[in-house]
Chains A and B, each alone.
Chain A
Amino acid sequence: MNKLERKDVIKLAGGAVLGTAVGTVFSGAPFLGLQWLVEWTQDQYVPGSGDEKFIASICQSCSNKCNLSIRMIGNRAVKVETSNSACPVGANALQLLYHPERIRQPLKKVGGKGNSKFKPVSWDEAIKDISAKAEKLKSENKGAAIAAINGQNAGLSGQLLARLLKTLGSASCFVEPGLATLSAAAVKATQDIDGSLHYDFENSDYILSFGARLVEGWGEPSRMNKVFAGWKARKAKYVQVDTICTRSASIADQWVPVKAGSEAALALGIAYYLMKMGRGSNAANFGELAKIINADFTPEKVSQLTGLKPEAIEQIAKDLAGAGNAVAVAGRGGWGVSSSTAEFVAVQAVNSLIGSLGRRGGVQVAVNGGLGEPAVDAAAAESIKKAKKQSGLDDYIKNGVQPELLFVNEADPVFKSVYGAPLAEKMEKTAMVVAFLPLINDTAQYADYIFPTLSWLEIPAAKGKDAAAVKTESKHAADAILQIAKKIKGSDTAFAWNSFKDIIAAAGKTEIRGAGNLTIPADVMKAFAAELPKKLAPAKDFPLAMIPFEAALLGDGDGLAFPYVLKGLDDTTLTGRKMWVLMNPETAKKHGASEGSRVDLESKRGEVGSVKVHLTKTIAPDVVAVPLGFGHKAYTSYAKGKGVNPKLIMSNDIDSVSGAADWWYTSVKLS
């Protein structure tokens, strides 16, 4: 029987009424009684009127820089439309601009860390205190104990922090792990370039995505939405590899269902067939990879790891080879991306075998134009040279030194990193933590100072286009950092700019290059080949694989502060503050769960719960699909205390190249 799943939306035409959750059967009048009558007859809130005008602006929330049209009534912004209507960030812009819990002035910690208590402080006082601390650490030769964490979209303000740290003698400036850091690590490992992968999707005819949920927030969603519309229009073929039937898998032209965590194995299995078809690669060390493939990724072995028949794998290889401009994409996930460097290398190996490196519709390298290197004095240079090096944020949290001064810039690593809890502990012991944010998130709870930053609408844009008027004491993080830097003796000379506007003008442009020459890091691949079968073998104690997914607009948690995002969550995602996880009915039966039952999830790291179970055959057997983005301890009253954060129990093995934990696949059990 075919039936709409979620609600009995479509009822018998003509008005035979079925009772639903909202209860449409009886009249509301008696229930509401007198109060209703009173309210009904009295005037309701009337929004203020004023002259209508439209402000043209540029969205600065990512590197895409879309044109915005802001509809103003008097001095109120009431609607934002983006030039390509392709951006969820633009859609939520007003909810951030007018968020009742936005920080309106700089704040200073009151009492112990983590208690969410702050008091207002002036910009001058805060900056004085922070710059004095930085100067003191440098003068005591403790510059290496200064660290910074930038969000993935921090952009130029992130570059300013890195610059400031260098002048103080620290190289410990990290970006929150995700697609950007993984892609940068892969480019560094295979091409020794400081850049990131750029897929030329606009010109691809065949797109094979290894778990990258391309229409669910991945990369730059504003670009990806447009790209996707383009694929549909010109009938490009989009093939999605995934373990669960995600939004991307469903809308793709083909879904390749693989066993949890086996995406890289499939890539190497496809490489096997491509080689058999006579395809070669120019990549240095490719011979070594071929040896690994022929030994450990034969069709039989890959079939076992992925659950796909060898013929199915061969067919994908044929389709790839036969397509015009084909491209293979790495970086599993949507807004939150987790993968391994080996997986990126495996996928790039496929790209090299189909000749898509540097080719139109294939994959290129983007090199960001920066602000150039700052002049660094001898003491700072020496400090950087001597300091312990960490490859990424998770590596730093786990193995790095205890910081004494820590900057957090538009990031929420306490919530998003699987090392969030140890980071919070470190922050408790850090003498001074400075955060730049518009809303107090889980990480900012541990801050000593919080500077209020701008919503995307208020960010001053280049070329004289106006942004909506800033009504608070907020500033762009770049301006705040600039002010701090200018107060630090010795660092000030490296910051010649007066404001963020100058910095935008000074920054070099992003340059797209051909993919250059690929070198396969053979040791990385050898280690991977040895580890993977062990990792994916069913564990006796923890027989289920936990795989993440994301609800629309919620992403890896950033959307939860916005009530209109909450309005879109359905009744098998979050109900009554309880979060739902998804399982195949057979799996549930085997493990004693049923529709709506409450369970806890346990991995070798610990337990989270309780969550409710929804049964659906869109999930592979022996898998628990768990939504990301819930379980905030702070981040406004809209987000706080809803659901649980699975990162607390997710895999925390650190990838040696990217320095980020690969949390995608976690062995768990129900308890």
Chain B
Amino acid sequence: MAQEKKKETNMKRRWGMAIDLDKCTGCGQCQVACSQENNMPLFEDDSEILKRVVFLDVMKVTNDRDKDAQYPNVKTAFIPKMCQQCGGNDPDHPKPPCVSVCPVVATDVGDDGVVSQVWSRCIGCRYCQASCPYEARQFNWWKPEHEGSFKESLNPEVSVASRGTIVKCTFCSHIWKRERDKMLAKGVKDINAVLYTPSCVAGCPTGAMVFGDLNDPASEVSKLSKDKRAFRLVHTVDNWDEAKKAHLKKNYPNPKVYYLSSQEWLRKMAAF
């Protein structure tokens, strides 16, 4: 493929997230905060996992299946997982695995690094879902419903998806837009002057989630991303041979969500 020309932009921000698993109690409040903010469908039986649509999944993981694992030398941990906002390998031409396969540009990378998803443009081919290494994308097999008066609490800034479309976490980019509009009303035109907090981060009671600008070396998220406890979620291969490693590097999704843990087993389980 011919190299496209790098886009001109005055955007300085590159949004990223850091989630400290040593502080995450698995309380699930991030999921509820996300679902409320992003108009997740409310089916009568949301305990039916096949039917469930949710952007953020608090995954329970444990090392109890290790060969030598024995009670009580086992651990559990929680990994809140949403779209990892992949950047791809080429910093000049960010191409996350999902974006390169979409035939109708329903998903794209903004100049702030956020991978967008426009439900109304999606034709439901599900190529992106198949190519996402994190299973961060959800398909509306059923018509998204909001039973009865639950409709009252819908957020007008996030459109309700149709059946047969793919949805996913957008780093709550509508909140950023909301903050920008507010600043604009105050006369601030510099887009880089506006910070924001996604709903899940605002809802986390223990401060395990941190959000901010990865391009700003002074931001907390930048610092955390370079912490020695930091890692990113990637597939672990037991016996990597060189060929596999090369393949992995080529397709390394380069996500902007960082996790932190002091627990070796957890880092080993989830890290590159």
A40-B31 CB under 8 A given contacts A47-B156, A48-B156, A85-B202: no
The CA-CA distance from A85 to B248 in the complex, in Å, is 39
Q: Does A189 contact B (CB under 8 A)?
A: no
Q: Does A407 contact B (CB under 8 A)?
A: no
Q: Does A497 contact B (CB under 8 A)?
A: no
User: For residue B150, which residues in chain A have a CB less than 8 angstroms away from its CB?
Assistant: 95, 98-100, 563
Closest B residue, CB atoms, query A255 = B72
Q: Does A140 contact B (CB under 8 A)?
A: no
Residue from B27, B62, B160, B163 whose CB has the most chain A CB atoms within 10 Å: B27
The CA-CA distance from A27 to B149 in the complex, in Å, is 34
A32 near B28: Cβ-Cβ < 8 Å: no
Which residues of chain A from 481 to 517 have any CB-CB distance to chain B below 8 Å in the complex?
A: none
Chain A interface, number of residues (Cβ within 8 angstroms) = 100
A28-B236 CB under 8 A given contacts A84-B205, A584-B71: no
Closest A residue, CB atoms, query B201 = A85
Closest B residue, CB atoms, query A228 = B206
The CA-CA distance from A99 to B152 in the complex, in Å, is 10
A10-B265 CB under 8 A given contacts A250-B75, A566-B45: no
Interface string of A3-44 (1 = CB under 8 A from B): 111111111111101001110111111001001100110101
A77 near B153: Cβ-Cβ < 8 Å: yes
B65 near A222: Cβ-Cβ < 8 Å: no
The CA-CA distance from A567 to B55 in the complex, in Å, is 10
Which residues of chain B from 89 to 136 have any CB-CB distance to chain A below 8 Å in the complex?
A: 97, 101, 123-127, 129-131, 133-135
Which of B101, B153, B161, B236 meets A98, CB within 8 Å? B153
Which of B44, B52, B138, B252 meets A13, CB within 8 Å? B252
Cβ distance A426 to chain B, nearest Cβ, rounded Å = 32
B131 near A15: Cβ-Cβ < 8 Å: yes
Closest A residue, CB atoms, query B43 = A563
Interface string of B256-272 (1 = CB under 8 A from A): 00000000010011100
Interface string of B146-171 (1 = CB under 8 A from A): 11111111111001111111000000
User: For residue A26, which residues in chain B have a CB less than 8 angstroms away from its CB?
Assistant: 126
B203 near A617: Cβ-Cβ < 8 Å: no
Q: Does B227 contact A (CB under 8 A)?
A: no
The CA-CA distance from A250 to B203 in the complex, in Å, is 22
A2-B268 CB under 8 A given contacts A247-B76, A564-B36: yes
User: For residue B77, which residues in chain A have a CB less than 8 angstroms away from its CB?
Assistant: 250
A564 near B59: Cβ-Cβ < 8 Å: no
Cβ distance B90 to chain A, nearest Cβ, rounded Å = 15
A568-B75 CB under 8 A given contacts A2-B66, A3-B269, A28-B139: no
Which listed segment binds A: B3-11, B18-26, B187-195? B18-26
Q: Does A215 contact B (CB under 8 A)?
A: yes
Which of B35, B97, B126, B138 meets A15, CB within 8 Å? B97
Which of A7, A225, A255, A569 meets B206, CB within 8 Å? A225
Residue from A13, A28, A216, A619 whose CB has the most chain B CB atoms within 10 Å: A13
Cβ distance B91 to chain A, nearest Cβ, rounded Å = 18
The CA-CA distance from A553 to B205 in the complex, in Å, is 13
Q: Does B33 contact A (CB under 8 A)?
A: yes
User: For residue B269, which residues in chain A have a CB less than 8 angstroms away from its CB?
Assistant: 2-4
A45 near B206: Cβ-Cβ < 8 Å: no
B59 near A553: Cβ-Cβ < 8 Å: no
Q: Does A279 contact B (CB under 8 A)?
A: no
User: For residue A110, which residues in chain B have a CB less than 8 angstroms away from its CB?
Assistant: none
Chain B interface, number of residues (Cβ within 8 angstroms) = 105
Q: Does A670 contact B (CB under 8 A)?
A: no
The CA-CA distance from A250 to B74 in the complex, in Å, is 9
A39 near B164: Cβ-Cβ < 8 Å: yes
The CA-CA distance from A22 to B142 in the complex, in Å, is 12
B163 near A229: Cβ-Cβ < 8 Å: no
Closest A residue, CB atoms, query B46 = A566
The CA-CA distance from A567 to B74 in the complex, in Å, is 27
Q: Does B226 contact A (CB under 8 A)?
A: no
A36-B164 CB under 8 A given contacts A10-B234, A100-B147, A564-B36: yes
Q: Does B253 contact A (CB under 8 A)?
A: yes
The CA-CA distance from A42 to B165 in the complex, in Å, is 13
Q: Does A87 contact B (CB under 8 A)?
A: yes
B76 near A94: Cβ-Cβ < 8 Å: no
Cβ distance A26 to chain B, nearest Cβ, rounded Å = 8
A13 near B235: Cβ-Cβ < 8 Å: yes
B97 near A13: Cβ-Cβ < 8 Å: yes
The CA-CA distance from A97 to B43 in the complex, in Å, is 17
Q: Does A527 contact B (CB under 8 A)?
A: no
Which of A14, A17, A39, A553 meets B163, CB within 8 Å? A39
Q: Does A124 contact B (CB under 8 A)?
A: no
The CA-CA distance from A48 to B156 in the complex, in Å, is 7
Which listed segment binds B: A128-136, A261-269, A571-579? A571-579
Q: Does A618 contact B (CB under 8 A)?
A: yes
User: For residue B47, which residues in chain A have a CB less than 8 angstroms away from its CB?
Assistant: 566, 569, 574-575, 577, 642
Q: Does A526 contact B (CB under 8 A)?
A: no
A553-B126 CB under 8 A given contacts A6-B60, A99-B149: no
B97 near A2: Cβ-Cβ < 8 Å: no
Which residues of chain A from 598 to 621 have any CB-CB distance to chain B below 8 Å in the complex?
A: 616-621
Which of A24, A44, A567, A617 meets B160, CB within 8 Å? A44
Cβ distance A397 to chain B, nearest Cβ, rounded Å = 31
A44 near B159: Cβ-Cβ < 8 Å: yes
Identify the B interface with A (CB < 8 A): 22-29, 31-33, 35-37, 39-40, 42-50, 52, 54, 58-67, 69-72, 74-78, 81, 97, 101, 123-127, 129-131, 133-135, 138-139, 141, 143-144, 146-156, 159-165, 199, 202-207, 233-236, 238, 247-248, 250-253, 265, 268-270
- Interchain Cβ contacts under 8 Å between A and B, 22 examples: A10-B235, A12-B235, A13-B235, A13-B253, A14-B251, A15-B133, A15-B251, A27-B124, A29-B125, A46-B160, A47-B160, A81-B202, A86-B205, A98-B151, A99-B150, A102-B149, A225-B205, A228-B206, A250-B75, A570-B59, A621-B71, A638-B44
The 8 closest A-B pairs by CB, nearest first: A14-B251, A100-B148, A257-B72, A47-B154, A225-B205, A552-B28, A86-B205, A15-B131
Identify the A interface with B (CB < 8 A): 1-15, 17, 20-22, 24-29, 32, 35-36, 39-40, 42, 44-50, 73, 76-81, 84-88, 91-92, 94-95, 97-100, 102, 215-216, 221-222, 225-226, 228-229, 232, 245, 247-248, 250-251, 255, 257, 552-553, 563-571, 574-577, 584, 616-621, 637-638, 642
